[in-house]
Chains A and B, each alone.
Chain A
Amino acid sequence: MSAETMSIFSPKVAARFDALVAKYPVRRSALVPMLLYAQDEIGYLSDAVIAEVAQRIGITELDVRNVATYYSMLRFKPAGKYNVQVCTNISCMLRGAYDVFEKFQEELGIGHKGITPDGTFSLEEVECIGACCWAPAIQVNYDFHDELTPDSVPGILAQYRRKAEGQ
């Protein structure tokens, strides 16, 4: 990207992107991971993110959107600071994932794809996250929590609330 253009990303992430596009035989291979890392920093794929990623890869914004809409982890609206993703697929379902999901709904007062008013938490019912033998399992952002019961829900939320307050 040209020197006069301001990046919306932090210098650290911008430097990472410079390295990322250079690492593949084809520049465009950086697209999917770059979108995910961009989302990690900005919170979602805003118009500005799409524009800068398109420029960095050297493709059109439409091309970027076309790809981004395919992947379920990429989002175009903000989520909570801590995105709680409850797996309810078969192995988790058999071991009580819906009870865990209901407990999260009750504790947070939000449903699927909801965000708490303070923006600390969002909640999602997701497909298999690859923790079937330690079911039921959830991810909070990228952290796994496994072998849950509804009783473990308040403790997990308290842990992230403390983390949010500490920052």
Chain B
Amino acid sequence: MPRLVSHPDEVKIVSKRFGQGAADIDKYIELGGYEAARKCLAQGPDWIIEEMKASNLRGRGGAGFPTGMKWSFVPKQSPKPKYVLVNGDESEPGTCKDHLIFLHDPHSVIEGTIIAGLSIGSKMGFIYLRGEYRYLLEIMEKAVADAYAKGFLGKDIFGSDTEFQIITQSGAGAYEVGEESALMESLEGKRGVPRIKPPFPAVVGLYGGPTVINNAETIASVPHVINMGGAAFAAVGSPRNGGTRLFGISGHVERPGIYELPMGYNLKKMIYGVAGGVRGGRGLKAVVPGGSSTPVLLPEEIENLGMDFDQVGKAGSMLGSGGVVVIDDRTCIVEFALRTISFYQHESCGWCIPCREGTDWLKKSLTRFHAGFGTAKDIDNIRYLAENMMGRTFCPLGDAAAMPTLGFVKKFRKEFEDHLDGKPCPFAKHTEMAVV
């Protein structure tokens, strides 16, 4: 069972029901659950979208797109049915926040899905969980069945004449399916390869109908936005970044875990205050701020860095999924880069050549490099390869592989050079054989 942690600086909004047995529908109702959905049903779509816009809630999957604006893009009239998709394919290395939402507060996901459905005039929502999350899927399935039994889902939700159905869905192991159009392909029973955009999902999405797709944490935040009021939710965070985030701090810290902190919270404080500092009193070498696809930051870059989409963007990285991976001074960056790129090489769907070939060559180059068979030219080649993947693929996986690689090579060039001329890796125990 994943351990829950706590810190006085936390502002518990999305996580306020964690550990309180709210997976039980009666407990959830007792804690104020489904009030937001009732209110939205009474207030209507335009009111919901205005509250969402006022909240400054931005997509928690990583892109940070304003949620209210996304919902407003869905055409009011559509000859095809409209859909709501909840992306619970959580697969970005360093990210495990949705894990806790599904485990402790599944009804918040259902309630958020209903509200999203009401706002766009949809009658059906899908909650898609990665295949590995079977026990969480079972919790979600039970929660959905309980919501049907209470009349919160079905032909006439909450005694109104409004219909809303929810279907839960399991993936079967594919990072790429976390990309919105690939998720739709998977949900349609196909290989999870991305679609060409435009058209965007808001116009042509699942089964060709207008579709809103949001990350599970975004959806779980929605009932809280409604209950608090959009403006109050926005006031918790930093400018243009409303509310809190479930930051997942992992790696070399004393107290790893999921902490809910206001948007804009200082990263250095997050590591040294909230998570107890670097494990064993060691020095900090680098931080990956938002899942493995976000470029690495150096200790001097986090001093005054507020963790919101805009500030981390300005610092040359991304807030991404909020998965903060802390790396101590005894870690080999070349090995870390290799493990990162190995993942993207494994997960590239092969649809776009720059990504398929680029990730493979980056992995080969880094494997050889880490084994001590690299040449000075390889460092520039790695950089050249990565630069030529950027922006040249249908979906962001190519960028997700290239961006962190560029960060490692640019910021730790010296460490790459230390591996040259057959020198053994100064840090790692686990040196792989060169396969090139």
Contact = CB atoms under 8 A, between A and B. Distances in A.
B251 A71 contact: no
Contact of A132 (B132, B250, B331): B250
Interface stretch (A108-116, A138-146, A156-164): A138-146
Contacts of A105: none
B417 to A, nearest CB: 23
Interface string B172-207: 111100000000001111111000000000000001
Contacts of B328: 94
A144 B96 CA distance: 13
B189 A71 contact: no
B325 interface: yes
Contacts of B258: 133
Q: Bin chain B's interface residue count.
A: 35 or more
Contact of A29 (B92, B173, B189): B189
Interface string A127-161: 11111111100010011101100000000000000
B327 interface: yes
B339 A26 contact: no
A31 interface: yes
Interface string B28-60: 000000000000000000000000000000000
Interface string B150-182: 000000000000000001011111110000000
B429 A98 contact: yes
A66 B3 CA distance: 39
B250 A91 contact: yes
A91 B173 contact: no
Interface string B119-141: 00000100000111111000000
A127 B340 CA distance: 10
B288 interface: yes
A28 B188 contact: yes
Contact of B167 (A23, A90, A94): A23
B2 A134 contact: yes
A94 B325 contact: yes
Interface stretch (B220-228, B306-314, B342-350, B362-370): B342-350
Contacts of A103: none
A135 B256 contact: yes
A89 B325 CA distance: 11
A62 interface: no
B343 A127 contact: yes
Given A25-B81, A67-B189, A132-B95, A33 B250 contact: no
Given A90-B340, A90-B343, A131-B2, 10 more contacts: A23-B167, A26-B207, A33-B172, A73-B132, A128-B92, A128-B292, A130-B95, A133-B257, A143-B135, A144-B2
23 contacts: A26-B188, A30-B189, A32-B186, A33-B170, A36-B170, A66-B191, A67-B190, A70-B349, A71-B172, A71-B174, A90-B93, A90-B325, A93-B339, A94-B331, A95-B252, A128-B93, A128-B292, A130-B90, A132-B248, A133-B249, A134-B257, A144-B135, A147-B3
